Structure 1
Amino acid sequence: MARVWFITGASRGLGRAFTEAALAAGDRVVGAARNVAPLEELAAEHGGRLIPVALDVADRAAVHEAVDGAVASLGRIDVVVNNAGGLLLGMIEEASEEAIRAHFDVNTLGAVWVCQAVVPHLRRQGAGRILNVTSMGSGGGFAWVGFYGAGKAALDSITEALAMEVEPFGIKVTNLQMGGYDTGLFTTGTTQAEPLPAYDPLRKQLTEMWGDDAGPDPRTAAPVVMELVDLPDPPRRLIVGGASYDMVLQMEGARLDEYRAWEHLSRKAAG
């Protein structure tokens, strides 16, 4: 039976790639995005199996309305992909309160609102999949993208908690720790903080380190997601990308080495 997907950020990048893959598999997709114009041609190609929905995930009431409307129209939701997000590029000192709050409203709370809206429906069905798109870098902070990492780290933790809470109801939840794909995150998806000259040397160093490679096509990640949603017992956390897998293991190893190096100081405290 054809599945019903609810995908946020469906108009570009990874969301668009997952939408196209689900449609190619014969499934139906509710594609949510702030701007659904890029989805209109794709919707026309697939004879009504793609339903574009204009949605700002930061608006909790609108999220509940969109989810309830999808279930009322299509009868169910089988796979939820929380992909909507953006990048706040700036050092911690540089970012404004308004920009920080707006960033977390979308990248973290937006996914929470979707989860809160869909779980009652999935629980009644006794089945469903939730995939929350986080990042291979969410295990620790990094200069210039600290707020992005923080938002994804928070979503990582929330996702693992949710997985424990809803698994008894037949709902499977997975953190998709994505590598760096050519999604437009550093262009159309970026909010730039007002730069302070004091950080110019670090900015230059980071720019040179990252280089100009935008990363692989997001469509190369779609087969992984399609295989994942078919697994009867999927992982709660999945690194997506071979190079990213190696980098995460390297970062985790470095953190473990630091813990061990300072074990003597840790053990001086009770508890």
Structure 2
Amino acid sequence: MSKTWFITGASKGFGREWAEAALERGDNVAGTARNLDDVQELVDSHPDTFLPLQLDVTDRSADIDAVRKAHEKFGVLDVVVNNAGFGHFGMVEELTEDEVRAQLETNFFGALWVTQAALPIMREQGSGHIIQVSSIGGISAFPTVGAYHASKWALEGLSQSLSQEVAGFGIHVTLIEPGGYSTDWSGPSAKRSDEIDAYSAVREEAAKRPSANDPGKPEATRSAILKVVDAENPPLRIFFGKAPLGIAERDYESRLQTWREWQPVSEEAHGS
């Protein structure tokens, strides 16, 4: 049976790959983009099953309206993919208020507003699947992208709570946590803070991250996302790419070691 998808940021990157994968197998897709010219090819190739929607996800009322239009068009809403987002590069000291707010407004609040718009429809259906595009940066952290991490860690916590709240309604939640991919995330789509010279050495070291040497292929995620949305019991979290599992294992082993080492102090803080 075909599915109906709502995908934000469908013009490029993962959103474009997944929209094409869904359309090519006969699913319906409502795809959003800031500029509809960027999705015209999808309109031309799938005029009956692709609904283009112009949207800036930071506009809550527009998010609600876009989800409503998708539901009115196709009559059902099976999969909602919160993919729209960008990376901001800047040391924590370099970040301006406007830069941090813009990062959170898109990556976190945009996903929240779309999710809120979809939930009443999915509750009424008694089914649905919310796909949140997070990152290995949603569970770990690296220099130069603190604001980005803040947005993804927030999305991770929100989504884990959400998964427990909506399970009884037949709604699944999955956090996709990709590693480095050859998209334009760190290129034209990225925003950058004005640099402070004192951090030059930190910046140079951060540029040597291994993920930059062997990025994943975005097109390879097509079959993976279809397996996730077609699963009877989809995971709450899944890594995309080879590198994230190793990063997570090292990070969590270090956390557990520190927590255990300091457990006597933790228990002291509990009181008798």
**Contact 1:100 1:147 (C-alpha < 8 Å) held by counterparts:** yes
2:242 maps to what in 1? 242
Structure 2 counterpart of 1:270, one-letter code: H
Equivalent-residue separation in structure 2 for 1:190 and 1:118 (angstroms): 28
- Aligned CA RMSD, in angstroms, stands at 1.5
- More displaced 10-residue stretch of structure 1: 259-268 or 166-175: 259-268
- More displaced 10-residue stretch of structure 1: 254-263 or 49-58: 254-263
Structure 1 counterpart of 2:165, one-letter code: E
User: Which stretches of structure 1, 4 residues or longer, exceed 4 Å deviation after superposition?
Assistant: none
Instruction: Tell me: CA distance 1:115–1:19, structure 2 relative to 1, closer, same or farther (3 Å).
Output: same
**Contact 1:141 1:150 (C-alpha < 8 Å) held by counterparts:** no
Instruction: Tell me: CA distance 1:210–1:70, structure 2 relative to 1, closer, same or farther (3 Å).
Output: same
Residue segments in structure 1 that go unaligned for 5+ positions in a row: none
Equivalent-residue separation in structure 1 for 2:209 and 2:21 (angstroms): 33
1:65 maps to what in 2? 65
CA positional deviation for 1:96: 0.6
CA positional deviation for 1:209: 3.4
Q: Secondary structure at the match of 1:183?
A: coil
TM-score (norm 1): 0.95
1:254 maps to what in 2? 254
CA positional deviation for 1:261: 2.4
Equivalent-residue separation in structure 1 for 2:174 and 2:251 (angstroms): 21
CA positional deviation for 1:225: 1.1
Q: Secondary structure at the match of 2:137?
A: coil
2:50 maps to what in 1? 50
Equivalent-residue separation in structure 2 for 1:212 and 1:230 (angstroms): 31
For 1:108-127, list aligned pairs within 5 A: 108-127=108-127
Q: Secondary structure at the match of 1:110?
A: helix
Q: Secondary structure at the match of 2:114?
A: helix
Equivalent-residue separation in structure 2 for 1:158 and 1:208 (angstroms): 31
Offset from partner CA, 1:236-265 (integer Å, 9 cap, x none): 111222322222122111211222222232
Offset from partner CA, 1:55-98 (integer Å, 9 cap, x none): 00000000001011111111111101001001110011101101
Q: Secondary structure at the match of 2:173?
A: strand
Offset from partner CA, 1:97-137 (integer Å, 9 cap, x none): 01110110000000000000000011111111110010112
**Contact 2:131 2:174 (C-alpha < 8 Å) held by counterparts:** yes
**Contact 1:6 1:80 (C-alpha < 8 Å) held by counterparts:** yes
TM-score (norm 2): 0.95
Structure 2 counterpart of 1:149, one-letter code: H
2:32 maps to what in 1? 32
CA positional deviation for 1:214: 6.8
Equivalent-residue separation in structure 2 for 1:151 and 1:93 (angstroms): 17
Equivalent-residue separation in structure 1 for 2:243 and 2:89 (angstroms): 23
2:103 maps to what in 1? 103
**Contact 2:216 2:241 (C-alpha < 8 Å) held by counterparts:** no
CA positional deviation for 1:32: 0.7
1:231 maps to what in 2? 231
**Contact 1:89 1:193 (C-alpha < 8 Å) held by counterparts:** yes
Percent of aligned pairs sharing the same letter: 39
Q: Secondary structure at the match of 2:227?
A: helix
Q: Secondary structure at the match of 1:242?
A: coil
Residue segments in structure 2 that go unaligned for 5+ positions in a row: none
**Contact 2:8 2:32 (C-alpha < 8 Å) held by counterparts:** yes
2:87 is the alignment partner of 1:87: yes
How many corresponding residue pairs?
A: 271
Q: Secondary structure at the match of 2:209?
A: helix
Structure 2 counterpart of 1:100, one-letter code: V
1:196 maps to what in 2? 196
2:175 is the alignment partner of 1:175: yes
Structure 2 counterpart of 1:39, one-letter code: V
1:2 maps to what in 2? 2
Equivalent-residue separation in structure 1 for 2:99 and 2:243 (angstroms): 31
